[in-house]
Amino acid sequence: MVNIPRISKQLCNQKVEFIESNVSDETDDWGKPIKTEKATQVNNVIVQEQTIYAGNGNSRVITANAVVFLFAGVTDPMPKLSREDVGNKIKYAGKEWTIINIVVNQDPFSNGVYSYELEVL
């Protein structure tokens, strides 16, 4: 079977904390839904801090401040992400960012996930 080359684990020497938010069906004393957060450390990722803009001329807006790359077979643990994870948080180097876009790169030979690119703001 043909495989896409994998990035070396030695090059993925950064780690992030993935903070998943859930809203319960239960409510607090004031009738508001109870929100819980679960944090998971994710090792062997690449974080590229960069400002990404959309638009042109004077109508440009910042759409991301960093991109976090997660690679199947390298990142540990490799989370299973979906569009429902947009809005969850990533913590890296003392900064907390919100996931605003998830790019899923498919392995063309197995149709599984090859990597994720998390655009964070």
Q: In this structure, what token pair is assigned to residue 7?
A: 């990035």
pLDDT (0 to 100) of residue 1: 61
pLDDT (0 to 100) of residue 27: 84
* Structural domains in the chain (count): 1
Residue 4 forms part of a structural domain: no
Q: Work out the percent of the chain whose per-residue pLDDT is above 90.
A: 72
3 state DSSP class of 29: coil
Residue 5 forms part of a structural domain: no
Q: What is the mean pLDDT of residues 25-31?
A: 84
Q: What is the CATH number of the domain that holds 111?
A: 2.40.10
Residue 2 forms part of a structural domain: no
pTM of the shown model: 0.88
Contacts of 87 (CB under 8 A, 6+ apart): 21, 98, 99
Query: From CA 99, how far away is CA 62, in angstroms rounded?
Result: 14
User: Pick the residue with more confidence: 48 or 25?
Assistant: 48
Residue 1 forms part of a structural domain: no
Query: From CA 96, how far away is CA 91, in angstroms rounded?
Result: 4
Residue 3 forms part of a structural domain: no
Asked whether the predicted pLDDT for residue 57 surpasses 90, the reply is: no
Backbone dihedral region for residue 57 (phi beyond 0: left; psi -120 to 50: alpha; all else: beta): left
Per-residue pLDDT tens for 59-81?
899 999 999 999 999 999 999 99
Structural domain boundaries enclosing 77: 14-120
What are the φ and ψ backbone dihedral angles of 65, each rounded to 5 degrees? Answer: -110, -10
Residue 82 forms part of a structural domain: yes
